[in-house]
Amino acid sequence: MAPSLDRQGYWGRPTSTLDWCEENYVVSFYIAEFWNTVSNLIMILPPICGAILTFRDGLEFRYVCSFLGLAAVGVGSWCFHMTLLYEMQLLDELPMIYSTCVFVYCLYECFKQENNISFIPIALLLIFSVSVTVVYLQWKEPVFHQVMYGALVACLVMRSIFIVTWVYPWLRPLCYTSLVVFLFGFLLWNIDNIFCDTIRASRQTLPPGVGVVTQFHAWWHIFTGLGSYLHILLSLQIRATYLKYRPKVKFLCGVWPTLHIDPQKTS
């Protein structure tokens, strides 16, 4: 990550433990990292729409929480990149842990009776979340957060692959699409971190409209936001299929995938 040697703006000197590769306050005096900020819209608007549709279709509230958790990550990330303040960094990073715990619960409890609540997994995930929070507040090391988040994602990947391999193989395209999209975003995140100096130098020689394409952390938001959204659709479809509902993927405006649940069960 590049040090903060950029312009000063509305929110003052950055206090976060991370300052990403986008030059600060270049586009707007009020937004520290403009492209890293607005790219979070993909993690805010579609999940809110998904939560509304899921609530309307009457599926279990845990899936509404999944969508709203992803939206909360998007809002927190927006605030973090807009201000580069430490408090806003926590508003971004800690919801990543909490929302992914919801994803884990949904996917590992997908083959239970309808409206069944398993308290042991909830307790374990709560203990994990609280422990990570306490440690991270005391030990302000971003790598710790990244490792804990990565462990949760690994649990999701293993469970998803198991289900589409042995239980519902017809869901492989959706599973592997969400995984590849997410991993591609992770690749761009690493490129942005490792080659930041080179990327920044290249932006000085590129036209502004072209230089925007090199904002790889913004692309990380877009691809991981889409990958996470598709994962929730996968989890929803697994659950709806198990409960013998009739899940059907539809495309909003012919582009954006949404899942609609027929309340009438199959025989």
Residue 208 belongs to some domain of the structure: yes
Instruction: Count CB atoms within 10 A of the CB of residue 203.
Output: 20
- Which H/E stretch holds residue 246? strand 246-252
On whether residue 160 sits in a domain, the answer given is yes
Q: Is residue 66 part of a domain?
A: yes
DSSP letter string over 17-31? S---SSPTTSSBTTB
Q: Which CATH number belongs to the domain containing residue 117 in this structure?
A: 1.20.1070
pTM of the model: 0.93
Please check whether residue 255 lies inside any domain of the structure.
yes
**Would the annotation count 221 as a binding residue?**
yes
Half-sphere exposure of 187 (CA within 13 A, CB side): 6
260 is in an annotated binding site: no
Q: Annotation-wise, does 145 bind a ligand?
A: no
Query: Which candidate, 236, 245, 247, places its Cα nearest to that of 110?
Result: 236
In a domain, 45, yes or no: yes
Total domains, the chain:
1
At 4 the pLDDT is 43
Residue 167 token pair: 């239980």
Chain-centroid distance, C-alpha 46: 12
Q: Binding residue per annotation — 22?
A: yes
Nearest-Å Rg of the Cα atoms of the chain is 19
- Domain containing 97 equals 34-261
The Cα 135–Cα 32 span in angstroms is 28
Q: Is 28 inside any structural domain? A: no
> Does any domain span residue 176?
yes
Three-state secondary-structure class, residue 84: coil
Q: How far apart are CA 217 and CA 220, in angstroms?
A: 5
Residue 12 is assigned to a structural domain of this protein? no
One digit per residue, the tens of pLDDT, for the chain of length 267 reads 444 446 789 999 999 999 999 999 999 999 999 999 999 999 999 999 999 999 988 889 999 999 999 999 999 999 999 999 999 999 999 999 999 999 999 999 999 988 888 899 999 999 999 999 999 999 999 999 999 999 999 999 999 999 999 999 999 999 999 999 999 999 999 999 999 999 999 998 888 778 899 999 999 999 999 999 999 999 999 999 999 988 887 777 667 888 877 766 665
Helix 61-83 with 216-242: angle, nearest 10 deg = 170
**Gap between the Cα atoms of 211 and 203, Å rounded:** 5
Query: Could you give phi then psi for residue 7, rounded to 5 degrees?
Result: -70, 155
Structure confidence at residue 6 (pLDDT): 61
pLDDT mean across residues, the chain: 92
